[in-house]
Amino acid sequence: MENYEVQVQQQTGKITCDFEGAKAYLSARLDEYRNVVFTEDSKKDAKATVASLRKEKKAFADKVKEVRDEYMKPLQEFADKAKELVDMYDQPINFINEQVSAFEQRRIEEKRLQINELYQDCLGDMQKELPLQKIYNSKWENSTVNPTQIRREMMERKETVKQGMEAIRQMHSDVEDRAISMFLESYDLTKTILYINQYQQQQNEIRAREQERIRREEEERIRREERMKLEAEQREREALEKAEREKQEAIAAAEAEKQAAVQQAIEETAQEVIDSMIPADLEGESNLYEYRLALTADAKEKLETYLTSVGIDWELI
């Protein structure tokens, strides 16, 4: 069937109005009252004038509405009939379009089955890492995209993901499993490597802090042991010094006791000797004798004591 173009013609409508006469009338009325000062006496006339002007204004507004409605009647009639024609156009359009859509839907379903078969063939060993719904490209459903193109894209995606996973494993990170899971969520290798590097940096910082803590604790332990060693050595020296002092004091005490005993024995022996040498009779004739002796001060003192003790008269010359 040949195309048909609906013929539509329009004639310009015309509406007349005495705009200029109305403007002149209203200007004259405005000039009439421009300099008028209304008073209590003229208030009634002013109200009447306002009421008259409002009545004239309403009459003109009503006339404008009446004219507009009458002027729009042909347009409204045309629009109603035109809508009927538009609706009639929709009937064959919708009928044909439904069949085209159904045909297109069947084609898409067949293409989807073909895409699934290609997926099973290309990614059979990596379906877990590359689910079809995550790599599905709706453009594959277009009739202009052939199976070779789809297969190539699937294989490229598969190879990209395999290389990405291998790159992650080559980093030998403690969070390898988490990193691979993250990569398979978005297939963003740059983001995943950044995560691994940040984690590694955090771990390095933690290890560095731990090593620093251990180093400080070890230094403190060494200082503490050195202090304890010095304190022990000091206590040992003090104990040795004390023991030496006590030993020396004991020796000195023993020596003093010995010297005292010897002195006492000497004194007792000397006294016995002296007693044995004292003449029994001191009333006999005495003679004068002179001796020259070389003595120490101590010996001199003891000699003088002895001479005195045995009753010998002497004088130092």
Asked if the model's pLDDT at residue 272 lies above 70, the reply is no
82-125 pLDDT, tens digit each? 888 888 888 888 888 888 888 899 999 999 999 999 999 998 88
232-261 pLDDT, tens digit each? 999 999 989 988 888 888 888 888 887 777
Which region among 1-10, 23-32, 75-84, 113-122 has the lowest average model confidence (pLDDT)? Answer: 1-10
Contact 309, 275 (CB under 8 A): no
Claim: this prediction has a pTM higher than 0.75: no
Contact 306, 274 (CB under 8 A): yes
pLDDT of residue 71: 82
Which region among 48-52, 156-160, 161-165, 226-230 has the lowest average model confidence (pLDDT)? Answer: 48-52
| Residue (of 152, 148, 141) closest to 113 by Cα position | 141
Contact 123, 154 (CB under 8 A): yes
Query: Which of 217 and 291 is assigned the larger pLDDT?
Result: 217
Asked if the model's pLDDT at residue 67 lies above 70, the reply is yes
pLDDT band at 29 (very low <50, low <70, confident <90, very high): confident
